[in-house]
Structure 1
Amino acid sequence: MQVKALNCQNSGGIAAVIVNNEAGLFSGTLGTPNNTNIPTVGVAFEDRSQVINAFSIRVKVGDGYMSGTSMATPAVAGIAALVWSNHSDCSGQEIRSALKSSALDGGTAGKDVYFGYGIVQAKAADDYLIANPCGGDGGGDPGTTDLNITGYKVRGVQHVDLVWSGISGSSVDIYRNGTVVTSVSNNGEYTDNIGVKGGGSYTYKVCEAGTNQCTSEQSVVF
């Protein structure tokens, strides 16, 4: 019984309910010395259904199909952690940019409301970062800047996501086709809602506000 309770404790459990797998009273003890420090109770085989039904949480063991952002979020977070563990010199923004750039496109070409940036791919993201090393928070040339842009349409209207790194200062100027379209906080990302349907070509750069410290220019074509 102590072994089972200790396994529960070491797995993060805050209490253990041990159900006998044979008919009759449960007579196990934690023994001496007792190396556990969580509450532990034993339940007779005949009482297990009542105990399980009293729990407010149901656990179903087995495989099944699930969808939606509630499932996508932990999956992508786990892959991001895996990729980051291999590229610890990268910043969070750089890891996110790598996941976006290497995602397998799904549905409508480019970012869309159903697949987002696509299906995340751990190996492809790792390969992307090997080919495009990070400056990151943990090393590299502090003067290095980087800009990644992704164009997509929502109901036919053009949008462009910008993700940048390496720019100092609290705010930045967003340039589109050589003209400042807005100044925003330097949080590493911005979505330009162009508000135009059809085709078009746009060139972007991001600069520290009021200076010529800028990323390289990147272009997108619709």
Structure 2
Amino acid sequence: MYNYKGFKLLVILFITGIAQTVSAQSVDEIIAKHITAMGGADKLSKLKSVAIVSNMEVMNMEMPVKITIVQDKGFRTETTVQGMTIIQATDGVKGWMVNPMAGDGKPVELPQEAVQQYASQTDLTGLYNYKQKGLQLALEGEQELNGAKVYKIVATLKSGAKQDNYISKDTYYVLKVVATVSANGQNITTENIQSDFKQVDGVTFPFSSELTTSAMPGAKVINKIESVAVNAKVDESIFAMPK
């Protein structure tokens, strides 16, 4: 959590150990309150699927979006742009895309890098059970975000990638997520600001989000959720690439 290389005195190491223990306890306390705010361990442990209908606005264009996710199994989005529907999906092993705007309505296999990124979206429960998921969390102090006091908790994923989570000291919702992913040999940083939190069947979702990315400087993606179906029955064949 902290880099104490170079400190050799026993007393310094002793103090260091105490600091690490206190920090770890603080992280667990914050995460416990966050999990409660998101619906509680009982609800999150039983969250198996979601079907989301939303409206996305990019550069003054509105695009209806349907997202279907089955926990740890499949992810599929259907985005309608100018009357044409772009489909992107993964079954956790392979990914594919149909993009009629490219002049061809045939499914095309996605590169493994993209598959891994989509597969990471199949976890519906976020920081719940983070230790079992192999995440390492570190509390990096408190900040202010748009007038709200927040904790900055950095999650280190199994891949080594880091994700900054800004958790409200008031509601314990995650108000902002900053993540860096590798795509086409470049590191791309995204910032997602979340708001308008509502519960659906006891599980909390951010119904509004604003996304910016270094891949599109100056552009902002605004997403407004219209409806969420929790644990709806899903035909998992929709994640498999059509033959």
- Structure number with greater CO (CA < 8 Å, separation at least 6) is 2
Higher strand share: 2
TM over 0.5: no
TM-score range, shorter chain: under 0.3
